[in-house]
Structures are given as C-alpha cells and as structure tokens.
Structure 1
Amino acid sequence: MAEFPFNALGGQMRPHQLASLTENDPRHATDGLIAESWLMGAEVAIAFSNFQEGVSLPTWRANVGYEEGEDWVVSKMQCGYPRFFIHPSIQKLAQEVVRRVGDPESETATLFPTPKTARICHSFIVSKVSAEEAKAIRIVRFLPSQQTEKGSNTITSSLVAVIHKKEFAPIAKQVWQHSGNGISSRRGEFCHRALEDGFLVEEKQSTTTKTQAQRPCKGPRRYQSKESAAGSSRGSSASTPVPLESTSVTNGVDDGRDYAHFIEERFGRNLSIVLAEQAKVAVRRRIAGVLTADVELPEALEATSAEGRISGISEQDVYLYPAGMSAIFNSHQTLLAARGPLKSICFGFPYTDTLKILQKWGPGCQFYGHGSSEELDDLEERLKNGERFLGLFTEAPGNPLLKTPNLVRIRELADKYDFAVVVDETISNFLNINVLRYADIVVSSLTKIFSGDSNVMGGSAVLNPHSSYYRVLKETLDREYEDLYWAEDAVFMERNSRDFISRIDKINANAEGITAMLKESPLVKEVYYPKYSPTRPDYDKLRTTNGGYGGLFSVTFHSTERSIAFFDTLDVFKGPSLGTNFTLSSPYVVLAHYLELDWVRMYDVDPDLVRISVGLEELPDLRRLFQKALEAVEKVKA
C-alpha cells in the first residue's frame, strides 16, 4: 500500500486506524460510516461515510489530475465535496426514482426537498435548452403515505425530483452546486428506505384509480399489511407527471404502527420532531450570540433571551439552511423578492459560487475583485450618477487572500444610496468579529468551524434587527422561507457545536503561532492572514473583545516547484474544505479556479497559493510538521 501523508500529528493514517477512530468515538456511533476506500499504490485516497464524506488528494499532481479529469484519479473517486460530487446514497435514490417514474436508459433525476427548490432547477434547465427539449423536463413529487400521519411526533420527509435527460445533468448540477438546496445524504438515505418500504409514495392526480392507489409496496413483509402482501408484485411506473397542486397519494401500508417500527429500526431509537426542533432552537441561539459558553442541549433550551451579537437580536432573527451556499442563494432570492430585479454587487475576491449565484440569477452583478478603496470610489461614482443596486455581497475576511473589506464605508454608502449589505462571516466567524452591526444580512457556512466534525452540513442567515430593511425582509421571509434543514442534520449540528466557543480559542492560537513561524522564514514569499494583511485596520474594527484572527491562512513561495514541495511534504490532511477540527491543506486556486488561472491573476491571486485551515492539534506538533515542509522547500533549487 502506498504511504499517504494524512495524519495531522505526523504519522501515516491507515484504513484500520480511520475505522477504529470512528467506531470507538461515541460521538460518531450513529454517523453511519459504511466504507473506507483507500486506493492501493496510487496518489489518491478517499474515505467516505454514509452522510458527510471526506476526499483526500494528497499531492499536487493528484489535484491537477482531478481538475484535468485524468482517469487515474477520477476513476478511483467514490465520493467528494458534497456540492461538487453527489453523494453515492443520493445517486442510488435518484436511480430508484427514475426507475419508477422515468426512463433509466435516457433520463436521470436531480433531487430537492420541496417543490419550490425543484422549480428553481426546472426553470434553470429550461432556460438553457430548446423549447422542444424543455417539454420532457418535468417535476415529480413524492409524499409521506397517509399511514405516517399517525406518528404525530415522528419525522417524515417529502421528496421532489426534476426528471431530465442525462445530457442535461451538467446544467442541473450547476443549480445543485451553486444553490446548495439539494437534499443532504442523510435525507437521501431516509427517503430511499421510506420509498422502498412504501412510506414515501408518488403524488397522484385526484382521479387516481382504486387499483393504482392500492398498489402493493416494495420492502420487508413486516411493513406490509395482509392485503398488500397478497397483491401482485409491482411493476415499474413511468406514468405522466402530474401538477404539484394534486394532493392524492398512493398508500404504501395500512398500519401506522409499522411506520413507528420503521423509524425505530432506522435510527435505533425513535427520532422525534420535538428533538429536531429543540436542536434547531439551540443552534439558532448559538448563532445569535445568546449563548456565551459551551453548553449542552438542556442548558441551551433553558437560556433566557440574553443580549446577543447586538441589542434586540434573538433566535427568531436566525434562519437555518442546508448549506452555507443555500444561505447565500436564498438571501439573494429574498432580496429579489423584497426589492425587485436589481443588479447586485460582489465586492472583493469571493468564494467562487457566490459570484456565480449573482451572475446566473437575477439581472447580473457588478464585480469588484480587488475589494479596494479605489473600487469603492468607482462604486460611489456610479451611485452618484444614478445607478442603483439590490445589495452588496462580500466576505469578511475574503477567501483565499484573507483581505477584509471596509465595512464602515460600505455601510455609509448603503445607507445613503439604498442598497442592502450581505456579509459572509464564515472564515473568521462571529466569535472573532462582529459584522452584523454593518450588515443587513449576515450569512455563514455552519459546515465549517461551527461544526468542526466534518460529518454534517448547514448554513445560516441572520437579520440585523436595526436594519432599515428589517421589516420588509421579515415580511418577505414570513412568506417565502422554507425550513429545508433535515431533522437529523440539525441534531448532529447541535451536538457538534456545543464546544464551538472553546474550540475557537485554540484554533486562533494555533493559527497565530504557525503564521508567525512562516513569516520569519526567507523561503516564504507571502503569508495571507488577517493579522498581517494591509487591511488589518478594517479587520480590527470588526474584532470582538476577545476575538482573534481565525484559523485560515494562505501561503505562497518563490516558485511553483517550491509550492509543490511544501504541499506534498506537509503531513496534514489534504482536501477542499476549511474549519475542520484537524488541520487541512489544499492547493486552493488549482481546485477552485483551474480553468481560469489567468483571470485570478488579474486580482492578485497566485495560482501556486497553498491554503491552510488550522485545527486543534498541539502547537509544537504542528510546528514540527511545518518545519519539515519548509526543509523540503529549501532543497528545491532556486
């Protein structure tokens, strides 16, 4: 077996070690780890769980091979970053859906939790294909069978499929990736089992015949009534899709007690709606800043409405989403619904999907990729000349250059010329900086440092109660907001975030220690970190009383060869994410912008940049790993 540099403490992480770590950690006892796939004699290794996968591309060459679609990499990948790689359990569910309601030879399905999210995908595909091709694109809805209603405190899930030709999958994938509204792998597995056992059934027209309605369900006989078990076996269904307004559904089973049995067997114990809702309340209270210490769920639920990030805020101002990009996408959609079709502003070099959302939905985007004072001057001149905008979207700090926008000046312009300000705080998080006082909406990816454990996704959007847009945004969200966050995901997110506050302190200290070490090395060309950024004054204006500079930084060297030597030698986990409890590294620009490297150079982004997300390891151990990587750089000829 090839030796893979994955263990963040300097050793080699082998398959049996990963399995034992997962199986013996009680926090992960129900995480559903079903496979570890380690590639023999290759530079690629993948380990994935049933729900939140990890992918490792441990060398620079492997990352380039992935981007170029080289078979020695992509043929061995069984999973990947969730919005870029559809989880195997979701793929299986899509195949089952198409088998029932489509043509498996020519069609596939993109899956969403609600009709509204599915219609966004449907409309996007239709806008990209011919009118004739669009006729075959359709939406099919699956609903819980009538018997599931008997378990009033038991979770259920609907499922909505956009059925389209396989050649349109890359178009549908754009919606999946950019919007973040697709179903999670936990929901996917739940729906697959419910579909097979007859508790999730296709919505039918009100004229559905009795014969169709009593079609027997597939699945274990213990879930089937005597009548259904005695019926003829079910054939595949490829019926014409029906309007979403239809309410009649087929009945899978006759005994509601069987559904409780199904849930208990699925979870080990009954997972109630009450538990999921309690978890969401606790998560929202943490995000609002009402909870100022690490607490368990009962304590979080007992907490009084103490002052959060700013006066007047409560958990009612926090909206949960299935992913950070979903929070951004839906915030943009909310602003469009509240203010009408106005052009947006993207200020500063952003995470790639944010810019794509603003460009592909709505009237377009004015992009200021440097995030500089000169660009704010240009914006102000446009505003003086009568241009009007929906909102300004920015990151504080940005990814991957860790520059901080001048939110004080942006707020002044927004107030004077009437546009909203949406700030993504994911990288530093609200314990380090308080951007809400300058924003109308603050968004974040909870998947990252808020969770830390890398086994669940989530996102949030927070409204500023003092914003001039607060009332109209609240009214719009009262009409438009859908709770897309799957119950199981909420439970895991709440559990993971209980020690969020204490984790931040250690990660801040580790990152400051490593960046200081790299700054002292003549081998290093540049360290990008808020503490050393020319925009530090703007960051410091946002810092909380005890806030630090976060756990993310980027580093460059004096040649591509030296960047490769550093990355390949750095003995930490390698993958395309950040905010994990373990240190994680990636050649970020290669992964995020491989087909637009000349474009990123225009905004001072070095294609050879290495991005590091610092974890909870002991600082002396991290220093040793980084020193070893610097020694490899030193051996490369100038």
Structure 2
Amino acid sequence: MLQALGGPVPPNTDHAVSVSLPSWRENVGYEEGEDWVISKMKCGYPRFFVHPIIQKLAQEIVRRVGDPNLESATLFPSLKSARICHSFLLSKIPAEKAYKARIVNFIPSLHTEAGSTVTSSLSCVIYPKEYASITKQVWQHSGNGISSRRGEFCLGALEDGFLVEDKGFATAESISQGPCKGPRRYQSVNGVRKGSVRESPPKSNTEDGRDYAQFIEERFGRNLSTSLANQAKLAVRKRIAGVLTADAELPEALETASSEGRVAGISEEDVLLYPSGMSAIYNAHQTLLATRGDLPSICFGFPYTDTLKILQKWGPGCVFYGHGSSEDLEDLESRLKAGERFLGLFTEAPGNPLLKAPDLKRIRALADQYGFAVVVDETISNFLNINVLHLADIVVSSLTKIFSGDSNVMGGSAVLNPHAQYYAALKETYNRDYEDTCWAEDAVFLERNSRDFISRIEQINATTEDITAMLKESPLGKLKEVHYPKYSPTRPLYDSLRNANGGYGGLFSVTFHSTAEAIAFFDTIEVLKGPSLGTNFTLSSPYVLLAHYGELDWARSFDVDPDLVRISVGLEDVHDLRSRVQRALDAVQSVRQPSA
C-alpha cells in the first residue's frame, strides 16, 4: 500500500498530481528543503513542484534562447499568462535590473499542418536564476502554468522542429518596450535582443520524412484531436452545469443531456474551464477587478493558502476574517454601514481543513444590500452534496479533486449564477477576456475520469460517515477533535445548503492531545500519503505542516492545530478502511502518557 518517498501518487502514473511523503519526518524534511527528501522527489503537486518534463523543457528553452549558466525560464500556455508573471517579476526587482527579464514566444512552425490537429504555442518568461523564487509565486498562486502533458507535447514539438521561436514577436515586444538599457550583450540589434534569438534554425520536420500527423500519432496516439478535445470540454462543462449526468461514452452522453441544471436557466455557456482550481480563483478575482474596479476584497473563513495570497498580492489587498464567525460578519456589517466598499467576498463551503460552513445566506443578504460579489469555492463538498450557486455570483472549484478522482490531471472551473446581480457585467468581461488554456489531452482525461463521479461521490460519502462515526465513538480522550461537517458546530449552516440526497463529503481532519500522538497516528495508518484530496483512494497528510509550515503560529491563532492530520476518503472497502484506522488509533494509545 505505501509508496516510497518521492514516488508518484498514485504509483506508476506519469502525470500524477500527488507525491508520496509517507512519514511525518519526511513531510518536515520536505518543508525544510532537506536534500535527503528533495533529492528523491520524482514529482510533486504541480503548482508547488515543477514536473520533471516541464523542467527539461524549460532547460531546453533557455539553452536555445538564453544563458543556461545564468538564466531560468517559467513556462505558460499563453502570452497573457506570461505577461502576468513578467509584470509581477518587474514589480519585485530593481528597475535597473528589469532588462534582464523578458518574454520569448514559441509558435507552431510553418510546416505544422492546420485543420483538426492540435497545436500549442508556448510563452516563456526568461530571467536571472536568482529571481526564481519570485516567478515561483506566480506559478503557485495563479495556477496558470503549463501542465505536464502540454509540456510533454511542446518538448517533442520543439525537438522535432514543429515548435519554433516567434522572432517577429521578439522584435515587436522589444520595440514596444522602448530602448533596452543595460549591458551590451542584452541590447538589441534591429529591435531584437541579443541572447533572445538562436541563430541556427531548429531541425526541419522534413529531414527524416515525417509529417506532423505522424509526429502526433507516434508520440501521443489518438488523444490529440481538436474535435475530440472540444467535445470533451463541452461534456465537462455540461456536467458542471448539471445538465449531463449520464455515465456513458462521449457522443451518447452529449446527445442525452437534459435541459435542467444546477439552477434554473443555467447552461454550459455559464461554465468556464481553467487549467487548475487556483487559476479559476485567480481569474475570478481578475475578472471582478476588470468589471468593478480597484476595490479590496474580503477573505471569509480560514482559506486554502493560495486564495488568501492571491487577494493579498494582486489588486488593492483584502480584509481577512480567519474565523469565519458570526462575530466576523458583525464586524463586516459595521464596516459596510460606515461606508467601506468591497470588490467581493471569497469563501469556501466548507472550509479547509476545519470543514466549517459559512453563513452564506447572511453573506448574500449583505452582498445584495451593499453591492459586493460573492465567490464560493465548493471543491471540498462539490455541487452534488450542496447547492451554493444561488447564493453566489461565481462558484469556483478544483476539478483536480473528486470530479476527476484519478489524481492524474489538473483542472478548474468557474460557474456564473445567471440570476446574480453582477451576471451581465461579469459575462461581458469574461466574453472579452477569457482564454481557454486547458490543454487538449488534459481535457480528454478529465472528461473520461469524471463520467462516474456521481456514483463515486455517493460511495465516498457513505464510507466517510462510517469512518468519522467510528472515530467519534472511540474511547473518550483518544482524539482531541474530529472535524467533519456532520459534527461541526456549523452543521445547521451546512445542512441549509445540502441537497436532498447530498452527503457531508469525503474529507475530514483529526487532532490529538500531543504531537507524539499525531505522529503515531499518521505514521501508522496504512493509506497513501501526500498532498491533494478527493482522490479515488484514501489519501492522508499532515495538512497544516504542508500548507502553513512557515506560519504555524498564525494558523494556530485561527484555531488551526499544527498537528492536524487530514484524511480524504476513497473507494476502498469500508471494513478494510476501518481496520486500518483502528490500528492507527491503537498506535496513538501506545504513545499516550499515563496522565493524558
């Protein structure tokens, strides 16, 4: 059952979303950046650890257009997303160093066939290596970077001459930025910066007699087709809208889609897809700024770490209510009555990792009265268990989690409420600014994985209720607390959102009376261990250590225990899973102090 340190989770998966960190000590070593852990990392959660394929592609890009000894590259699927990174980087480095950061664009070569065959552009932010920690923030927080499957495609296309540098872009970009100041080796000749264009052209695709269709077929099989990818994206959008529920092959499922969705009047046109859940959140925030102007936001409840970072680092900042309590809402209301105005309120239903539900009905009433948008992240419970769309302007979700389940593809979505106060204005902005950067092959995998998500969620709901009941009934004092919507003090708020057949989800957290007990439980429980949640297999992590290692005291100030262990329940047999949990509880008892 246990996967070795640094191996993919699930095992033997080239594009795994999680990575094995099987012991408490190894999680701490990972956070401390200790070589005995980092050197064994074959993969990682994609926004925190750049996949080896993408690392190799970035190195090849720098070899061709930069200085491998001095420079690095961060890769994006579009010029727009690259410019976001470039702009953020320039805002953090000395002005006199700005010339060292640049964007290099790669486009399909003239030999690439048009029509239904998939192609990809690639936009690369090139910068001195000492600035890597800055661009990593954009990669992590925005979720806009390329996926490993797109990276695999682009690396093959680059090597085979089907992806080439856009030298016309380099010229136009450097001219638009004005004269390039700095050392001569960075200055331009005819508007093109030295070091940004390789003199020798890439290998022609005709040298070995291969054409583009053959390149696609040999490297990627039949998963890369524009028509197939577009159908897959349509099916995913229909599922998220709630109008497609059939567990069937793609053509049949699309033909049998109903006209009734999550709320009256919704359609797939109100669903936007993104390469990750954080990208959906980042772009929801950007869309609100573009629609409503430069206003601060509200972060309500203890959030997933990158949501708060997005609101703090882009735009005019945010007011943070980390407890998400009724007292926090009283304070917010007093601010509003005093004349403060906000862009939007971002919250999770329920929150991560304490699984508390926000008072969305009261939030909605305040939003309507004082004119701010409501953005709800429903990732943990998902729309089959709860209905929050009618109380939100935008509902965001990480499709990487239970919607996919297989932990082998990233994805995200934003759903617009067609009855919300800002719907028309948001729709206009999305229609103008939205770009589809979801890679074709990722969409195909996401669609296939999600066909049976209804039945999977039903099973996971039932198993999780059984396991959490077992934990609640264990001898008094063995556990400090079980965090689960069913046992939360905010259960009435959760129940007010719950669908008729909805459950309480597949995620729960447990806390202990000492760090030693937490370590004993985590190290003993025989499940896969690593970041992420919503997987088809049970997955555990010392979540607070991983998400907030550098700010544990801050997390504790919001009642988030640093020794918390989070468990995402999968599709295993419930009796088997109960026995694994019991052995972990026995380990807790074995290290307990007599006075505890």
Same fold (TM over 0.5): yes
Conserved 8 A contact 2:6-2:20: yes
**Structure 1 residue aligned with 2:485, among 522, 527, 530?**
530
Give the whole-Å Cα distance in 2 for the aligned partners of 1:205 and 1:286: 41
Name the residue aligned to 1:372: 325
Give the whole-Å Cα distance in 2 for the aligned partners of 1:339 and 1:358: 15
Give the whole-Å Cα distance in 2 for the aligned partners of 1:368 and 1:207: 45
Q: Deviations over 1:27-51 (max 9, x none)?
A: xxxxxxxxxxx5xxxx665556432
Q: Are residue 136 (structure 1) and residue 91 (structure 2) matched? A: no
**Correspondences of 1:132-531 after superposition (within 5 Å):** 132-148=96-112, 150-205=113-168, 239=194, 241=196, 252-253=204-205, 258-269=211-222, 271-521=224-474, 522=476, 523-531=478-486
Conserved 8 A contact 1:48-1:55: no
Q: Are residue 626 (structure 1) and residue 581 (structure 2) matched? A: yes
Name the residue aligned to 1:245: none
**Correspondences of 1:533-552 after superposition (within 5 Å):** 533-552=488-507
Higher mean C-alpha deviation, range 263-272 or range 354-363? 263-272
Conserved 8 A contact 2:26-2:37: yes
In the alignment, residue 212 of structure 2 is paired with which amino acid? Y
Name the residue aligned to 2:174: none
**Structure 1 residue aligned with 2:18, among 46, 54, 75?**
54
Name the residue aligned to 2:549: 594
Q: Deviations over 1:167-220 (max 9, x none)?
A: 100100000000000000000010011011111010013899xxxxxxxxxxxx
Name the residue aligned to 1:32: none
Name the residue aligned to 1:79: 43
Label 1:251 to 1:152 Cα distance change in 2 as closer, same or farther (>3 A): farther
Give the whole-Å Cα distance in 2 for the aligned partners of 1:49 and 1:617: 19
Give the whole-Å Cα distance in 1 for the aligned partners of 2:348 and 2:27: 26
Q: Deviations over 1:92-138 (max 9, x none)?
A: 00000001110111001000011100000000010000011111100
Q: Residue 147 of structure 1: CA displacement?
A: 2.2
Q: Are residue 612 (structure 1) and residue 575 (structure 2) matched? A: no
Q: Residue 291 of structure 1: CA displacement?
A: 1.9
Q: Residue 254 of structure 1: CA displacement?
A: 6.0
Q: Deviations over 1:434-485 (max 9, x none)?
A: 1000000000000000000011000000000001111111110111000010
Name the residue aligned to 1:27: none
Conserved 8 A contact 1:310-1:436: yes
Conserved 8 A contact 1:326-1:459: yes
SS at match of 2:451: helix
Q: Residue 333 of structure 1: CA displacement?
A: 0.5
Conserved 8 A contact 2:349-2:357: yes
Conserved 8 A contact 1:151-1:260: no
Q: Deviations over 1:362-389 (max 9, x none)?
A: 0001000000000000000000000000
SS at match of 2:111: helix
Conserved 8 A contact 2:106-2:163: yes
In the alignment, residue 154 of structure 2 is paired with which amino acid? C
Label 1:410 to 1:72 Cα distance change in 2 as closer, same or farther (>3 A): same
In the alignment, residue 571 of structure 1 is paired with which amino acid? E
Q: Are residue 98 (structure 1) and residue 53 (structure 2) matched? A: no
Conserved 8 A contact 1:108-1:165: yes
Give the whole-Å Cα distance in 2 for the aligned partners of 1:434 and 1:628: 37
Higher mean C-alpha deviation, range 627-636 or range 298-307? 298-307
SS at match of 2:123: strand
Q: Are residue 127 (structure 1) and residue 82 (structure 2) matched? A: no
Give the whole-Å Cα distance in 1 for the aligned partners of 2:320 and 2:65: 43
Q: Are residue 554 (structure 1) and residue 517 (structure 2) matched? A: no
Q: Residue 239 of structure 1: CA displacement?
A: 4.1
Q: Deviations over 1:10-67 (max 9, x none)?
A: xx56xxxxxxxxxxxxxxxxxxxxxxxx5xxxx6655564323431111111111111
Which 5+ residue runs of structure 2 have no aligned equivalent?
A: 172-191
In the alignment, residue 289 of structure 2 is paired with which amino acid? L
Give the whole-Å Cα distance in 2 for the aligned partners of 1:124 and 1:604: 33
- TM-score, normalization by structure 1: 0.86
Q: Deviations over 1:572-594 (max 9, x none)?
A: 01101100000011111111111
**Correspondences of 1:574-589 after superposition (within 5 Å):** 574-589=529-544
Label 1:323 to 1:270 Cα distance change in 2 as closer, same or farther (>3 A): closer
In the alignment, residue 159 of structure 1 is paired with which amino acid? L
Q: Deviations over 1:283-334 (max 9, x none)?
A: 0011001123423212221134411000000011000000000000000011
Q: Residue 268 of structure 1: CA displacement?
A: 2.4
Label 1:333 to 1:251 Cα distance change in 2 as closer, same or farther (>3 A): farther
> How many residue pairs get matched?
565
Q: Residue 634 of structure 1: CA displacement?
A: 0.8
Conserved 8 A contact 2:244-2:253: yes
In the alignment, residue 160 of structure 2 is paired with which amino acid? D
Q: Residue 524 of structure 1: CA displacement?
A: 1.2
Label 1:44 to 1:195 Cα distance change in 2 as closer, same or farther (>3 A): closer
Conserved 8 A contact 1:145-1:250: no
Give the whole-Å Cα distance in 2 for the aligned partners of 1:44 and 1:195: 29
Conserved 8 A contact 2:295-2:316: yes
Q: Residue 494 of structure 1: CA displacement?
A: 0.2
Give the whole-Å Cα distance in 2 for the aligned partners of 1:137 and 1:551: 44
Name the residue aligned to 1:111: 75
Q: Residue 250 of structure 1: CA displacement?
A: 8.5
Q: Deviations over 1:313-359 (max 9, x none)?
A: 00110000000000000000110111111000000000000000000
Conserved 8 A contact 2:157-2:163: yes
In the alignment, residue 79 of structure 1 is paired with which amino acid? C
Label 1:270 to 1:626 Cα distance change in 2 as closer, same or farther (>3 A): closer
Q: Residue 559 of structure 1: CA displacement?
A: 1.1
Identity rate, percent: 73
Conserved 8 A contact 2:17-2:410: no
Q: Deviations over 1:416-435 (max 9, x none)?
A: 00000000000000000010
- Tell me the C-alpha RMSD between the 2 structures: 1.9
